[in-house]
Structure formats: structure tokens, C-alpha cells
Amino acid sequence: MIQRTIGPEKNQVSAVVQGCMRISEMSEDAVERLIETDLENGITFFDHADIYSDGTCEALFGKVLAKRPDLRDKITLQTKCGIVHGDDYTYYDFSKEHLLETVNASLKRLQTDHLDYLLLHRPDALMEPEEVAEVFDELHTAGKVLHFGVSNQNPVQMELLKKSVRQPLEANQLQFSIMATSMVDEGINVNTTFDGATVRDGGILDYCRLNDVTIQAWSPFQYGFFEGVFLDNPKFPKLNEKINEIAGKYHVTNNAIAVAWILRHPADMQVILGTTNMKRVAESAAGADIKLTRQEWYEIYLAAGNKLP
């Protein structure tokens, strides 16, 4: 498994991340086997959020850590906070009171004394950077959170936050896959009137590269906004034909090629797997050992329906 270097401390972490959003229906023993499968395949980074099944995912994972305390030192543990599920709606809350309350609750559920990474979960339009800075300082000083980041934020939002916080923003979790390419489209189509030239993300891809922020790509196998998986989907015959052709060349599955395509980008991203199927985890992890050629990368990009100017 190739490693990624995150932040000024140059921490080494696995390029592939196990997303834990869907573990709530698993048994405690099954989650333990999933973690062991991840570790066997070089995946040492685990991503949570306090809202995943209203904390059930964190609690289940925490039971495994309590049962197997030897696992904690083998993994990098990350969670996210800031989204609030109301009875009839969802909203965002980066207030000091809410962030401290939710982080402490996550620590309790995960049965650990610290998080390796904490990300602010999506932007809060009412964010007060000074208040967030107080939270980061308090959590960092207490040793409860070692590193910080954001998710789904653009460069200006990150700069606004950086104006007040002292800790570096080391990661930004963003949607990116073969079928969600807006971050690269805007760069490829510069100085054209093509649809791809529309700047939707504020140049976040190059911003992260310039500022040594690690992009964590979520939904690597999805198209649209959780509309479904594009692999083996009859809606995308040309794309799947090309992916399967390249998969055959490298003697891996299509999952591996979808992962390899993301990791081929020189931004040195991480890929967050949503699957809890242990066979697919192993198949996907194999993609980290493949470096696609430029031609192969562009062939897949074009087969997904994109155009080059």
C-alpha cells in the first residue's frame, strides 16, 4: 500500500481509507473482521462522522477498540462534526458549544482518548472563525485532537478559517471520482466556453496542492450525488468497457482501476472506500499498487463522457 504524507509533521498514512458510514448494520465481530481485513491490505486510516447512523457507527467501532485495544496504535482514526440532523431538516453548527459537545461525544463512543484527525463536516454559513479557533486550541491543548481539516470547502472558506486558527488545515474531504470530475474539468477547459470551464470549486484542487492540503476523495465509485455506482452499470457502457479493458491488462478488478485513476493524479490524494464488503475492500486496495499511464488516465476520462478542448 502506497503512503501519503499529511501536514507539516509529514505523517505517513495509507492512500486508501476505510469509510465507516455503512457499518451500523454489521455485527461487532464483522466490524472486527473488516478492520483486520483493512490492515491485512495496508489500509490503516479509518474515517467516521458523528452523524453516521446518529453515532451508531462510532459506537460500534468503539466497542471493537475496547475489545481489541491493540488495534488503536495500528490505525489512524478520523471523524467529522458540524452537521445537525433535526426532526424535519438538517443544518450546520460550528458553534463552540456544539463542536466541543460533539467531539467529546465522539471520543466517548469511539472509546479512545484522542482523535488523530478532526474535520469540520461541510461549510457552516454562520461560521465564526474566532470561535472555531477557540475550539481547535482547546481540543489540541487537551490532547483530544492531534490534527485538523475540513470537508467540502473552497479556497476562500479555508483562508477565512486560517485567518484565526493556529493549527494547519491538513485535509479537505471532497467528492472526486471518474464520474465526478469538476475539480479537474475547470483546469482542462481553461479559456474556453465549454461547460467544463465553469469554476464550481474555486480552484480547490490547485489550492490544496499549493498549500500541502491532502484531498480525501469520497464516493470513488458513485456518479452524481449518491445516485448510484457507475461500475458495471449499463447506463455507462463505454466507460465500463474501457475500465474493464485496462483492468484486464493489470489483472485486477474494475474497483482497483477506479481507485488507481484517482491516485494517479499528482495531488497525492487519499481514496475513501464506502464498501464494507471485505472482498471488494481487498480488490480496491490493489488499485493503490497500480500507476496508470497518462494515456490510460485520459482514455478513462474521455470514456466517462468528458471532452478535451
% of the chain beyond a pLDDT of 70? 100
pLDDT average, residue stretch 267-274 = 97
Q: Does a structural domain hold residue 26?
A: yes
Domain range for 257: 8-303
Region class of 134: left (phi > 0), else alpha (psi between -120 and 50), else beta: alpha
Q: Does a structural domain hold residue 308?
A: no
Cα 51 from chain centroid? 15
Q: Looking at the 3D structure of the chain, how many domains does it have?
A: 1
Q: Does a structural domain hold residue 175?
A: yes
**Model confidence at 227: pLDDT above 90:** no
Q: Does a structural domain hold residue 1?
A: no
- Per-residue model confidence as pLDDT tens digits over 83-115: 998 788 899 999 999 999 999 999 999 999 999
Cα 240 from chain centroid? 24
Q: Does a structural domain hold residue 170?
A: yes
Query: What is the CB-side half-sphere exposure of residue 266 using CA atoms within 13 A?
Result: 5
pLDDT average, residue stretch 46-74 = 97
The pLDDT score that the predictor gives to residue 64 is 98
The pLDDT score that the predictor gives to residue 51 is 95
Instruction: Please say if 207 is a catalytic residue.
Output: no
Q: Indicate the average pLDDT of the chain.
A: 97
Cα 122 from chain centroid? 12
Let me know: does 162 contact 169? Beta carbons within 8 Å.
yes
Q: Does a structural domain hold residue 166?
A: yes
Q: Does a structural domain hold residue 309?
A: no
The grid coordinates listed for 3 are 503512503
**Model confidence at 184: pLDDT above 90:** yes
The pLDDT score that the predictor gives to residue 214 is 98
**What is the CATH classification number for the domain harbouring 39?**
3.20.20.100
pLDDT average, residue stretch 147-165 = 98
Phi, psi of 4 (to 5 degrees): -115, 145
pLDDT average, residue stretch 130-137 = 98
Cα 41 from chain centroid? 18
Regarding pTM above 0.85, the answer is yes
Q: Does a structural domain hold residue 82?
A: yes
